[in-house]
Amino acid sequence: MPLKHIQWITGFITVLLALPIVIGLVGTLLPAFHYFPPLGEYDFSLSPWYNVFSQGEFYAGLKLTLITGIGAPVLALWLALSLLAWGYQRPFFKKIEALLSPILAIPHAAIAIGLLFLLSPSGWIVRLFSPWLTGFERPPNWITVQDPYGISLIFALIIKEMPYLLFVMLAAMKSIQARESMQACQALGYSRFTLWRKVLIPQLYPIIRLPIFIVVAFSLTVVDLALVIGPNTPSTLAVTLFRWFNDPDLAMRYTASAGAIFLMITIVLTLGGWELAHKVFSAMTRCERSNGKRHGVSDILLGTGVILGAFTLLSAFIALILLPFWSLAKRWRFPDALPSQWTWDNIERAAPLLMELSANTLIIALFSTLIACAISLLMLEIKRHSMTNSANPSQQYAFDWLIYVPILLPQIGFLFGLHVLLIYLNLNGDLCAIIALHLMYVLPYVYLTLKGPYLAYNEDYLLQANRLNNRPWRHYVSVKIAMLKPALFTAFAMGFSVSIAQYLPTLIAGEGRYSTLTTEAVAQAASGDRKQVGSMALLQAFFPVMVFWLAQIIPSRWTEWRLTIKKRLKKALTKKDKTCSA
């Protein structure tokens, strides 16, 4: 991208991003110190902090948060790497890749409800074997979900995070010379898992570090998933905060704000610890990596990961397949493995709202994702520019870490402060405000998905093209963007599905006046009615699944289509010319 005024552009975008974040933060920070004019509190005090630290539930929730919030990403990373190492460049793996998108696209609450039905004592697995094998005429009194150790929550988090990591890794693989490394290593006699562990994973990890951080922050702060499938006595810290923020006793807001600040600090510390652990780990394994052994213990580790990963994916799919069944069920009682009575009523009931909801959802998702793509391209180009031109190639712009702040902060504490800003600006309840708020959440994912491939792009193609014929803008589009198509489409699909799944931002910016498929689905999820949730989740997943599918299909066929269209146009034009001249 031939850019001028780089400093000015980065400055402007950074301010644009920083402003809402800062104001949102201040809106949480001030109540955390007991300053809150609408409730008539103008004096600073530390009492919210005393309150937080005197709640037993806070410590129990924190412990649970740390277990699930660190356990889930570690396991998800392990399983994703195992699956990648096992299947990369194998023909059938392409099919699994294509199947990832529905899991990525389905909103958390829906997948959690699906899992709940699969795994609970009255769930589908027990139904399948009851009563003929288990002898259960009625469900056993087991704690298979919402267990106090958070195991079911960790499982649900892995199901949501592993496909995301796998997706990001697959995109990032394009920017390391994987095939060459694999061929070289295999020629030297390294086993598949060993070469991945010694050569490819160390190259891959730095590229996907930020997605991992996002996954960690997500695990620590997730609310909707934890509400459905997480333990509730105690619940994770994020859920506890959510409850405090919603307490009818408005004075609890101070305690909640202090807790939200504490959760942010926890996130920062956890990420710091994670980074440190990685440094220590890679230092410890350095000599092991270069000892020349062609096989190792880690092969078993990766092998186990494959089995567990496959099992996880399988349960996710079964959970997802069961949801549509619910949307068609009238009676489906334990221990029936399939509904005993079927009906179209559930879908019919959802139908009238469909047009309006779909229109709102699509407008918001399309605009926010397109803007996010444009900003990401711009900022990445500036970054590439500075990497090649400046004396300090590793120089980081504020933008680089600033865009992650919104997704690293607990939504509820931060959005309330932002809402006040929207009201000041008289933008509340406005479609533009919803799009802007979605942009904050979409942008980091788009930027991240695009970052690896974009920065790894070999600029020589562009330079050659410009040497032949100096048309920088045209070549930027027709050479660079064209070559980055797969990454761009993937980034778009990712942003699109993130936008679709947003609940709180839509509600807060739109003040409930713009309903989307997600706000409707979450409102229905409040009913706990699996039939309604099943039908809504189906509709909600439809668009992202379509977009992901298109993102896989279009880039590989684009050139073919473009050329065909061009040829036909040309034919038509020459014909026209001929008729004209004749």
Partner 1 sequence: MKKSFVAASIAATLVLSTSSMLAHSAQTNSTSEKWKNTLQKAKGQTVYFNAWGGADNINDYIQWAADRIKDDYNVTLKQVKLTDTSDAVNRVLAEKAAGKNTKGSIDLIWLNGENFRAMKDNHLLFGPFSQTLPSYTKYVDENARQSLTQDFGTPVDGMESPWGMAQVIFMHDTATLSNPPKSIPELLTYAKAHPGRITYPEPPQFLGSTFLKQALYELSPHRKALSQPVDSVDFDKITAPMWAYLDELHTVAWRSGESFPSSSEEMMRLLDDQEIDVALSFDISAASVQIDKGNLPDTVRSYVFTGGTIGNTHFLAIPYNSGVKAGAQVVANFLLSPEAQIKKQTPTVWGDLSVLSYTKLSKDEQAKFDALPRGIATLNIEELGKTLPEPHASWVGALEKKWRQRYAQ
Q: Where on the chain is the footprint of partner 1 (CB under 8 A)?
A: 36-39, 56-57, 59-60, 121-122, 138-139, 141-143, 146-148, 227, 231-235, 243, 245-250, 329-331, 333-334, 341, 343, 345, 349, 416, 419-421, 423-424, 428-429, 507-508, 511-513, 515, 519-520, 522-532
Ramachandran category for residue 5: left, alpha or beta (phi over 0 → left; psi -120 to 50 → alpha): left
Q: In whole angstroms, how close is the CB of 240 to partner 1 at the nearest point?
A: 9
Q: What is the DSSP letter of 338?
A: S
Alpha carbon distance 293, 317 (integer Å): 38
Q: In whole angstroms, how close is the CB of 60 to partner 1 at the nearest point?
A: 4
Ramachandran category for residue 358: left, alpha or beta (phi over 0 → left; psi -120 to 50 → alpha): alpha
CA dihedral over 481, 486, 487, 489, signed as positive or negative: positive
Q: Which two tokens stand for residue 568?
A: 């036909």
Q: In whole angstroms, how close is the CB of 18 to partner 1 at the nearest point?
A: 20
Q: In whole angstroms, how close is the CB of 139 to partner 1 at the nearest point?
A: 5
Q: In whole angstroms, how close is the CB of 440 to partner 1 at the nearest point?
A: 18
Closest to partner 1 by CB, 91 or 352: 352
Closest to partner 1 by CB, 493 or 508: 508
Alpha carbon distance 271, 407 (integer Å): 13
Closest to partner 1 by CB, 284 or 526: 526
Closest to partner 1 by CB, 106 or 229: 229
Q: In whole angstroms, how close is the CB of 343 to partner 1 at the nearest point?
A: 7
Closest to partner 1 by CB, 34 or 480: 34
Closest to partner 1 by CB, 139 or 303: 139
Q: In whole angstroms, how close is the CB of 76 to partner 1 at the nearest point?
A: 24
Alpha carbon distance 26, 265 (integer Å): 15
Closest to partner 1 by CB, 208 or 323: 323
H/E run at residue 282: helix 252-284
Angle at 380 between CA 375 and CA 382, to 5 degrees: 100
Alpha carbon distance 340, 332 (integer Å): 6
Alpha carbon distance 357, 359 (integer Å): 5
> In terms of Cα–Cα distance, which of 395, 356, 379 is closest to 491?
379
The torsion angle over the Cα atoms of residues 210, 216, 219 and 222, rounded to 10 degrees, is -50
Q: In whole angstroms, how close is the CB of 250 to partner 1 at the nearest point?
A: 5
Alpha carbon distance 163, 222 (integer Å): 17
Closest to partner 1 by CB, 135 or 248: 248
